[in-house]
């Protein structure tokens, strides 16, 4: 299955991305816990991560006029920026 197809976890993925946009760490942690995080099995968490990846790809493509080259350029810029300035703060729940 291609990473761009919706899965059973797409709704949870959308909620997780929304929590990130809203800077709502508590909602994000809850969604992760309900979909395979911490105490659940790795297969459920893997499905959620694939859904988040797929939805993120669609969001990034949409924001860049469905132009793959432009979307890749954005990711390359972010990757370079993060490599130069890695996060120093732990994430929620750390």
Predicted pLDDT at 70: 93
Separation of alpha carbons 81 and 24, rounded Å: 24
Q: Got the DSSP string for the chain?
A: --TTS--TTHHHHHHHHHHHHTT-HHHHHHHHHHTT-TTS-HHHHHHHHHHHHHHHHHHHHHHTTT-HHHHHHHHHHHHHHHHHS---S--TT-
Predicted pLDDT at 93: 47
Separation of alpha carbons 80 and 78, rounded Å: 5
Predicted pLDDT at 32: 84
Predicted pLDDT at 91: 47
The model's pTM? 0.64
Domain residue extents for the chain: 10-84
Model pLDDT for residues 21-39, shown as the tens digit of each residue: 788 889 888 888 888 776 6
**Count of other CB atoms within 10 angstroms of residue 16:** 24
Model pLDDT for residues 46-79, shown as the tens digit of each residue: 788 888 888 888 898 899 999 999 999 998 888 8
């Amino acid at each position: 299955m291609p990473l761009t197809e919706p899965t059973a976890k797409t709704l949870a993925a959308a909620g997780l991305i929304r929590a990130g946009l809203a800077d709502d760490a508590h909602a994000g942690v809850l969604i992760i816990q309900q979909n395979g995080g911490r105490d659940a099995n790795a297969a459920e968490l893997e499905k959620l991560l694939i859904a988040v990846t797929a939805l993120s790809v669609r969001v990034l493509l949409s924001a860049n006029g469905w132009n793959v080259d432009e979307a890749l350029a954005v990711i390359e810029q972010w990757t370079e920026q993060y490599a130069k300035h890695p996060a120093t703060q732990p994430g929620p729940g750390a």
